[in-house]
């Protein structure tokens, strides 16, 4: 009897561990973030080598919100490690950063560094932040004033650039330069010009009232339309970057930011119902190429969907969009349920994987339908996982 009890007791710690090892966190936001961290994603390194990557910037934003939600310092430390892998002790920026290439994508780590600087006061971060800010002062522009996406993309504005460059620009201005009316007007103009030059107009083929991927003000790119030089398709992730930028900048805009809030609210209130209406009626999610629903090789893409869920639920929660009949929230819930059922893959080690995120979409080549649908679809692409963490953070605080 005594022996049997002792044996039983000695097994208790093991028995107690089994359910813990197998149980997944109740929160999908936690589960997705912990799984990416367990895989070593988003810490400033790519195959062990430092890389200035906007994927990390997006994930770090999600981890910051998750840290604020849970108080789990693992998330804060992961963000800090990510910054330490890019910013040297004297404040120079590594990870392949090239100031004179004027690439907006690089700047997406900026909001993370500003946050860490506010929390820790580390001087090297401020040096790096100011380097990013001075890149914007030299960033080439169209004659209308839109930043080029990169120096090599002559006169081109891409929706992606608004999330990469302008969220940093707005964060910087709100923290260090809040009375700079010129900067606020400039940020407002970046959003506005992008919208006016890329929104689908009535009469456009397969009009959804959404925004094409980008435009070339010089009309020299092979894909530039005769009218505004816009690219031919609405690519789901480009629009996702843009709407996330709308809600994130609205949230930080101070009262003295001129026309910024009114402008962003106006644009958001055009896009939000159009995004709701562009969802596939059966699944509730969106085609990779939104302008070509159901066409052969098109598919439901998981990063864009997650970005819309995050942005639109946040827009309703903060009162930026009135959802009087509840149809926007209902559409985002339907999309979220599809995501959880179809794109979340439980692994035997207790982590989850994330499916169906397209690896890339660029206007550096033909910009046509065939281009978009032929890009690699990845498992565990951080751009998609980060967006799913953000979508889950919003979904999990629905009333
Ligand atoms: C914090 O997150 C880590 C994984 O990212 C997890 O292993 C740990 O259990 C969490 N801690 C708490 C107190 O929840
Ligand atoms: C700053 O640190 C980097 C990396 O450690 C080094 O390459 C660079 O020479 C240093 N710059 C100055 C001005 O000390
Ligand atoms: C940085 O970008 C500029 C402009 O595109 C280019 O000429 C230069 O070679 C790049 N430097 C490095 C180290 O790649
Ligand atoms: C204010 O913003 C403008 C536009 O970005 C910039 O050129 C200028 O240097 C800024 N002023 C100060 C004092 O930072
Ligand atoms: C409109 O959508 C249909 C259905 O996806 C597609 O076959 C067609 O190519 C699209 N037309 C244009 C001009 O994009
Ligand atoms: C990911 O999705 C693709 C296409 O839907 C599917 O073929 C593949 O099996 C999925 N991957 C996993 C690991 O389930």
Measured distance CA(395)–CA(28) in Å, rounded: 10
Measured in angstroms, how far is the CA atom of residue 291 from the centroid of ligand 5? 7
Give me the domain span that covers residue 252: 8-395
- Residue 122, pLDDT > 50, answer yes
Share of the chain above pLDDT 70, in %: 94
Give the model's pLDDT for residue 49: 98
Report pLDDT for 34: 98
Task: Calculate how far, in angstroms, residue 66's C-alpha sits from the geometric centre of ligand 4.
Answer: 33
Residue 127 has pLDDT above 90, yes or no: yes
The tokens describing 185, both together, are 């007007």
Predicted TM-score (pTM) of the model is 0.95
- CB 339 within 8 Å of CB 391: yes
Average pLDDT over residues 130-141: 98
Mean pLDDT of the chain: 95
CB of residue 130 inside a 6 A radius of ligand 4: no
Q: Mean pLDDT across the stretch 338-349?
A: 97
The CA distance from 64 to 390, in Å, is: 10
**Mean pLDDT within 254-273:** 98
Q: Long-range contacts made by residues 85-90, C-beta under 8 angstroms, separation at least 24?
A: 85/43, 85/44, 85/45, 85/50, 86/44, 86/50, 86/52, 86/128, 87/113, 87/124, 87/125, 87/128, 88/124, 89/124, 90/124, 90/127
Q: What is the model's pLDDT at position 22?
A: 54
Distance of CA 357 to CAs 38, 56, 343, 398, Å? Answer: 19, 16, 9, 25
Q: Give the distance (Å) from ligand 4 centre to CA of residue 127.
A: 17
pLDDT at position 363, please?
98
pLDDT band, very low/low/confident/very high, at 128 (cuts 50, 70, 90): very high
Specify if 125 maps to a domain. Answer: yes
**Which ligand is nearest to the Cα of residue 135, counting in written order?**
4
- When divided into structural domains, the chain yields a total of 1
**Is residue 213 within 8 Å of residue 367, measured between CB atoms?**
yes
Task: For residue 3, tell me if it sits in a domain.
Answer: no
CA–centroid distance, residue 137 to ligand 2 (Å):
23
CA distance 112 to 175: 13
**Residue nearest (by alpha carbon) to ligand 3 atom 9:** 101
Express each pLDDT in 284-323 by its tens digit: 999 999 999 999 999 999 999 999 999 999 999 999 999 9
Ligand at minimal distance from the CA of 350 is 1
With the most atoms of ligand 4 within 8 angstroms of its CB, the residue from 107, 137, 147 to mutate is 137
pLDDT in tens, 209-257: 999 999 999 999 999 999 999 999 999 999 999 999 999 999 999 999 9
Query: Tens digit of pLDDT for each residue in 70-96?
Result: 999 999 999 999 999 999 999 999 999
Per-residue pLDDT at 230: 98
Nearest CA residue ID for atom 4, ligand 1: 34
Which range among 19-33, 80-94, 222-236, 383-397 shows the weakest confidence by mean pLDDT? 19-33
Query: Which ligand approaches the C-alpha of residue 72 most closely?
Result: 1
- What CATH number did the domain enclosing 236 receive? 1.50.10.10
- Please report which confidence band the pLDDT of residue 16 belongs to, taking 50, 70 and 90 as the band edges: very low
CA dist., res. 145 & res. 222, Å (int):
22
Report which ligand 5 atom has the smallest distance to the Cα of 206: 1
Atom of ligand 5 nearest to the CA of 233: 14
For residue 204, being part of any structural domain is answered with: yes
Residue in the block written with tokens 């990416």:
36
Asked if the structure places residue 210 within a domain, the reply is yes
Token readout for 275 is: 């995004």
Region 171-192 average pLDDT:
98
DSSP 276-319: HHHS-TTTSS-BSBTTSTT-TT--B-HHHHHHHHHHHHHHHHTT
Token pair listed for 390: 């953000």
Residue 166 · residue 187 · CB < 8 Å: yes
What is the Å distance from ligand 4's center to 90 Cα?
24
- pLDDT tops 70 at residue 110: yes
- pLDDT for 332 equals 99
Whether residue 203 is contained in a domain is answered as yes
Is 88 touching ligand 2 by the criterion CB < 6 Å?
A: yes
Pairing of strands 377-378, 352-354: unpaired
Query: Has residue 284 been placed in a domain?
Result: yes
Q: Is the CB of 379 under 6 A from ligand 6?
A: yes
Q: Is residue 2 part of a domain?
A: no
Residue 1 domain-assigned (yes or no): no
Two structure tokens written together for 33:
């973030």
Atom 9 in ligand 4: which residue has the minimum CA distance? 137
CA-nearest residue for atom 1, ligand 6, is 355
pLDDT at 1: 36
Ligand 6 lined by 190 (C-beta under 6 Å):
no
User: What are residue 343's phi and psi, to 5 degrees?
Assistant: -110, -10
Confidence category of residue 152, pLDDT binned at 50, 70, 90: very high
Q: Rounded to whole angstroms, how far apart are CA atoms 108 and 60? A: 10
Decide if pLDDT at 5 tops 50: no
């Amino acid at each position: 009897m005594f022996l049997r009890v002792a044996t039983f007791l000695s097994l208790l710690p093991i028995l107690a561990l089994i359910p813990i090892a197998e149980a997944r966190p109740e929160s999908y936001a936690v589960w997705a973030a912990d799984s990416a961290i367990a895989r070593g994603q988003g810490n400033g390194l790519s195959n062990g080598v430092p890389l200035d990557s906007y994927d990390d910037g997006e994930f770090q934003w999600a981890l910051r919100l998750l840290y604020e939600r849970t108080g789990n310092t693992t998330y804060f430390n992961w963000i800090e490690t990510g910054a330490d892998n890019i910013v040297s002790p004297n404040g120079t920026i590594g990870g392949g950063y090239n100031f004179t290439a004027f690439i907006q994508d690089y700047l997406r780590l900026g909001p993370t560094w500003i946050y860490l600087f506010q929390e820790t006061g580390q001087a090297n971060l401020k040096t790096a932040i100011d380097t990013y800010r001075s890149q914007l002062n030299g960033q080439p522009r169209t004659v209308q004033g839109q930043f080029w996406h990169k120096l090599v993309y002559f006169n081109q504005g891409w929706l992606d650039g608004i999330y990469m460059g302008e969220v940093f620009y707005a964060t910087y201005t709100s923290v260090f330069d809040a009375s700079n009316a010129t900067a606020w007007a400039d940020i407002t103009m970046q959003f506005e010009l992008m919208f006016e030059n890329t929104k689908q107009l009535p009469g456009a083929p397969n009009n959804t009232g959404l925004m094409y991927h980008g435009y070339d003000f010089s009309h020299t790119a092979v894909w530039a339309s005769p009218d505004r030089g816009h690219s031919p398709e609405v690519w789901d992730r480009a629009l996702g970057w843009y709407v996330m930028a709308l809600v994130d900048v609205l949230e930080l805009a101070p009262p003295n930011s001129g026309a910024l809030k009114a402008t962003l609210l106006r644009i958001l209130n055009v896009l939000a119902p159009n995004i709701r209406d562009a969802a596939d009626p059966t699944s509730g999610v969106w085609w990779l190429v939104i302008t070509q629903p159901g066409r052969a090789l098109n598919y439901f893409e998981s990063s864009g969907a997650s970005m819309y869920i995050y942005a639109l639920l946040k827009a309703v929660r903060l009162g930026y969009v009135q959802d009087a009949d509840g149809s926007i929230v209902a559409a985002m819930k339907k999309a979220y349920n599809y995501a959880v059922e179809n794109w979340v893959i439980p692994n035997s080690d207790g982590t989850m994987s994330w499916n169906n995120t397209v690896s890339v979409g660029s206007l550096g080549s033909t910009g046509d339908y065939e281009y978009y649908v032929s890009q690699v679809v990845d498992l565990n692409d951080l751009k998609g996982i980060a967006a799913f963490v953000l979508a889950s953070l919003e979904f999990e605080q629905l009333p």
